[in-house]
Amino acid sequence: MEEKPQIKTGLFGGSFNPIHTGHLALANYLCEYGGLEEVWFLVTPQNPFKQNETLLDDHLRLKMVEAAVAGYPRFRASDFEFQLPRPSYTIHTLDKLAECYPDREFHLIIGADNWQAFDRWRSPEEIIRRHHILVYPRQGYPLEDTASLPPHVRVVQTPLIEISSTFIRKGIREGKDLRYFLHPEVFRIIQEKGLYR
């Protein structure tokens, strides 16, 4: 009997504090033009490189991601890292996901900014050897010499939508109305709960 091909699944990890249109449009593009069948948004409980004074509760950030992805069947919000040891090193997450979902081929989605610092991540060689990586451009981080990238690493040219959660948190704190930078449901939750004020 012929084996079913694995489902090409992008993994987009982040704090998502909060998730914004930049994240969503990028993942949307990768599904429709970048060869991915699905993208899973992995809400990171604690980033190994970040100090978290303004980090909202894990479940509240997950709730906003769930609200943002609900209308598009190719997106999924994931709390997979909530059960893993902290801090969440991506190598552990990827190995565990591959073990739990043998029907899927996972592609780690990382921006050129993170790609530049990738050799400082935990076990970068193992990540490249055992998993697929999809690198997309970020402003100010040129992706030079893509021909010499390792075989599991692929660059996808995506549109740049340079907004950040930091910008959104700061704007809300200053009383700005930034509704068009956010999914309407995320904006509603932020307003309803008075987040980031």
Ligand X SMILES: O=C(O)c1ccc[n+]([C@@H]2O[C@H](COP(=O)([O-])O)[C@@H](O)[C@H]2O)c1
Ligand Y SMILES: Nc1ncnc2c1ncn2[C@@H]1O[C@H](COP(=O)(O)OP(=O)(O)OP(=O)(O)O)[C@@H](O)[C@H]1O
| Residues found near ligand X in the complex (CB under 6 A) | 13-15, 42, 44, 47-50, 88-91, 114, 121-122
Of 13 and 34, CB closest to ligand X? 13
Q: Taking CB within 5 to 8 Å according to partner kind, which of ligand X, ligand Y, none is near residue 17?
A: ligand Y
Residues 104-123 that bind ligand Y (CB under 6 A): 110-111, 113-114
Number of residues that this document lists for the chain: 197
Shortest approach of ligand Y to residue 165 CB, angstroms? 3
DSSP 103: T
CA dihedral 77, 22, 67, 100 (to 10 degrees): 0
Specify the stretch interacting with ligand Y by CB under 6 A; choose among 81-89, 145-153, 156-164, 175-183.
156-164
Of 122 and 173, CB closest to ligand X? 122
Position of tokens 């599904």?
A: 31
Nearest residue to ligand X by CB is 13
Cα–Cα dist 138/12, whole Å: 15
Does position 166 interact with ligand Y (CB under 6 A)? The reply is yes
Cα–Cα dist 175/171, whole Å: 6
The percent helix, strand, coil of the chain (3-state, each to 5) is: 40, 20, 40
